[in-house]
């Protein structure tokens, strides 16, 4: 039951009215009803998967209680390790077992060692990566004593299955979501209007932009060898727009749904393609994911490594750079593989890790160079140049993210560096409508870049007739340009 399906519209409409009706009687009943609705939403895909989600959530609730009641650090650590084994083991088995087996067999074959290949017919569970992250953060935060274990099982089960975010985020950590679940929620008309506006923008972004680019991108990436360089470059640029439109659309719809239910979910995208450097890009792109990796992987790893490096320099290199490089490399290796059991995702992660290290290393020389040239950091030429270079790096990495194989990605990159890239892409003439839609999309994004989403405040002070005309225009765009069969959100794959 996708957010963009008729079934979901019917489900949410009926649920919405009952949800706020129950609110008059009891918060406990409202949360129980929200949990049942979340389980129904998840079971719509498969009730078997729901049983696993329930079992893991219940296990996390019990382990959280055990960690909270245990005073000895060694015993708390043992409970934490048990919880991590259950959660991460579940993720590894269902998402990565066959990948690791195939890589092991390939390595043995390279060494001329005969190994019998074993594989499991497993389906990657929808949302498994996201609710695993929620579970891990819940147990780790209890272990660190930053939150207390929740005694009410319904609240924990709901935290780990809240239907607006269960499949693709934002990764609203239990430390942030639990307080909202436990507080009384009040029907706020202004917040409802804001939620509807954000949902509308998400629907436009997904159905008008992302879904219309998908067929073109698929065609070019499926057979890049038969395309000229200009067409391949067009495909890369279109995918760069498509993936942002698709990812941010899901987040906008999820956050908007949360508003309609009285929840304030964290912002997930902050106009990342307007970033001035690769570090800033990752502070703007999928914020809930990058901050999760920062807090639960990068920072603990940097702290652990720094304790073991005593000297200021190692092999004439400042130890701070070495510590940062180790932390970034491991974090982005894991970030890459988190997105999928494929070598292209690893390459994508390592590319971003490399450029983040490069960005960190060049910070001081850059300042000295700017001081020598008497250039300010707010110089428009500098800002635009750095933004364009950042976007080039991001688009280059997206090639590996989207390609089915490393060989396919290299074919596309090689095509871009041939003379045919200077030809006029004939495919562009067939995509004039998409080009105009992309321009409209980014103009609105640029205009609203100071807000939480592009049209958050657009038209709110206009006369009502013009404001409603603006919304009606967007609705017409959806009916005019939406594909007859919409594609699933891309993050469903992860």
Instruction: Count Cβ atoms below 10 Å from residue 363 Cβ, excluding itself.
Output: 10
Q: What angle do CA 223, 229, 235 make, to 5 degrees?
A: 60
Give the integer Cα–Cα distance in Å for 132 and 143: 17
User: Is 157 or 376 the better-scoring residue by pLDDT?
Assistant: 157
Q: Calculate what percentage of the chain has a pLDDT beyond 70.
A: 92
Greater confidence, 120 or 30? Answer: 30
pLDDT tens, position by position, 248-276: 999 999 999 999 999 999 999 999 999 99
Give the total residue count for the chain. Answer: 494
Q: How confident is the model at residue 13 (pLDDT cuts 50, 70, 90)?
A: very high
What mean pLDDT, rounded, does the chain reach? 89
Model pLDDT for residues 198-232, shown as the tens digit of each residue: 999 999 999 999 999 999 999 999 998 888 888 99
Q: Count Cβ atoms within 10 A of the Cβ of residue 310 and give its class: 0-12 exposed, 13-18 middle, 19 or more buried.
A: exposed
pLDDT tier at 427, thresholds 50, 70, 90: low
Structural tokens at position 55: 């079992």
Give the per-residue pLDDT at 339.
86
* Spatial distance between the Cα atoms of 158 and 227, rounded to a whole number of angstroms: 49
Q: Are 15 and 93 in contact (CB under 8 A)?
A: no
Closest CA to 3 of 419, 427, 421, 491: 491
CA-based nearest residue to 491, from 165, 21, 16, 89: 165
Structural contact between residues 198 and 255, judged by C-beta atoms closer than 8 angstroms: yes
Name the more confident of 138 and 128: 138
**131, 160 Cβ separation under 8 angstroms:** yes
d(CA 184, CA 221): 49
Quote the pLDDT of residue 121.
Answer: 47
8 A C-beta contact, residue 161 and residue 485 = no
What is residue 100's predicted lDDT score, i.e. its pLDDT?
Answer: 64
Residues in contact with 376: Cβ distance below 8 Å, sequence separation at least 6, in sequence order: 370, 382
Alpha carbon 88 to its chain's center: 19
What kind and span of H or E run contains 313?
Answer: strand 313-314
Could you report the per-residue pLDDT of 22-41, keeping only the tens digit for each?
988 889 999 999 999 999 99
Greater confidence (375 vs 132) lies with: 132
* Secondary element (H or E) of residue 152: none
Helix (H), strand (E) at residue 169: none
Do residues 314 and 375 touch, judged by C-beta distance below 8 A? no
Q: Which residue has the tokens 């390592």?
A: 350
Residue 144 has pLDDT above 60, yes or no: yes
Distance CA 483, CA 478 (A): 9
Give the pLDDT score at 114.
65
Q: What is the pLDDT of residues 308-341, one digit of tens each?
A: 887 777 777 788 889 999 999 999 999 998 887 7
Token pair for 23:
């609110």
Nearest to 192 by CA among 118, 263, 87: 263
Q: Are 166 and 41 in contact (CB under 8 A)?
A: yes
The H or E element containing residue 317 is strand 317-318
DSSP 347-381: HHHHHHHHHHHHHHHTHHHHHHHHHHHT--TT-HH
Predicted TM-score (pTM) of this structure: 0.92
| pLDDT for the residue numbered 69 | 93
Q: Is the peptide bond before 170 cis (omega within 30 degrees of 0)?
A: yes
Predicted local confidence at residue 225, as pLDDT: 87
Non-local CB neighbours of 252 within 8 Å, separated by 6+ positions: 198, 199, 201, 202, 205, 269, 453
Helical H runs in 111-188?
128-143, 153-159, 174-182
The token duo for 467 is 């404001």
- Counting residues of the chain whose pLDDT is more than 90, the rounded percentage is 66
């Amino acid at each position: 039951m996708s957010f963009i399906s008729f079934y979901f519209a019917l489900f949410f409409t009926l649920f919405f009215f009952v949800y706020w009706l129950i609110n008059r009687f009891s918060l406990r009943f409202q949360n129980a009803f929200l949990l049942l609705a979340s389980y129904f939403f998840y079971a719509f895909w498969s009730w078997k998967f729901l049983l696993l989600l329930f079992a893991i959530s219940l296990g996390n609730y019990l382990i959280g209680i055990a960690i909270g009641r245990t005073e000895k650090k060694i015993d708390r650590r043992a409970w934490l390790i048990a919880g991590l084994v259950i959660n991460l083991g579940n993720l590894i088995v269902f998402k990565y077992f066959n990948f690791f087996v195939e890589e092991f067999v390939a390595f043995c074959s390279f060494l001329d060692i005969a190994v019998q290949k074993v594989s499991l017919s497993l389906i990657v569970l929808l949302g498994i990566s996201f609710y695993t992250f929620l579970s891990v953060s819940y147990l780790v935060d209890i272990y660190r004593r930053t939150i207390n274990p929740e005694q009410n099982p319904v609240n924990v089960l709901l935290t780990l299955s809240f239907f607006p975010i269960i499949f693709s985020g934002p990764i609203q950590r239990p430390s942030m979501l639990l307080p909202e679940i436990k507080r009384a929620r009040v029907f706020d008309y202004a917040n409802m209007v804001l939620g509807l506006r954000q949902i509308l923008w998400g629907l436009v972004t997904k159905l008008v932009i992302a879904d219309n680019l998908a067929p073109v991108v698929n065609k070019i990436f499926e057979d890049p060898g038969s395309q000229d360089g200009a067409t391949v470059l067009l495909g890369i640029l279109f995918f760069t727009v498509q993936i942002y439109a698709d990812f941010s659309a899901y987040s906008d719809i999820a956050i908007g749904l949360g508003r309609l239910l009285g929840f304030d979910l964290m912002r997930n995208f902050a106009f990342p393609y307007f970033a001035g450097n690769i570090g800033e890009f990752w502070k703007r792109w999928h914020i809930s994911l990058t901050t999760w990796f920062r807090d639960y992987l990068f920072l603990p790893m940097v702290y652990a490594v720094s304790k073991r490096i005593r000297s200021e320099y190692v092999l004439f290199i400042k130890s701070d750079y070495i510590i940062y490089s180790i932390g970034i490399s491991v974090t982005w290796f894991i970030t890459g593989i988190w997105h999928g059991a494929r070598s292209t995702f690893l390459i994508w992660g390592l590319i971003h890790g490399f450029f983040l290290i490069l960005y960190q290393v060049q910070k001081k020389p850059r300042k000295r160079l700017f001081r020598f040239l008497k250039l300010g950091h707010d110089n428009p030429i500098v800002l635009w140049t750095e933004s364009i270079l950042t976007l080039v790096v991001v688009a280059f990495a997206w090639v590996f993210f989207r390609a089915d194989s490393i060989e396919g990605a290299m074919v596309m990159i090689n095509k871009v560096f041939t003379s045919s890239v200077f030809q006029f892409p004939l495919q562009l003439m067939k995509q004039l409508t998409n080009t105009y839609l992309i321009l409209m999309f980014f103009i609105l994004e640029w205009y609203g870049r100071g807000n939480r989403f592009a049209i958050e405040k657009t038209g709110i002070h206009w006369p009502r007739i013009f404001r409603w005309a603006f919304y009606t225009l967007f609705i017409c765009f959806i009916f005019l340009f939406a594909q007859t069969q919409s594609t699933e959100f891309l993050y469903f794959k992860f």
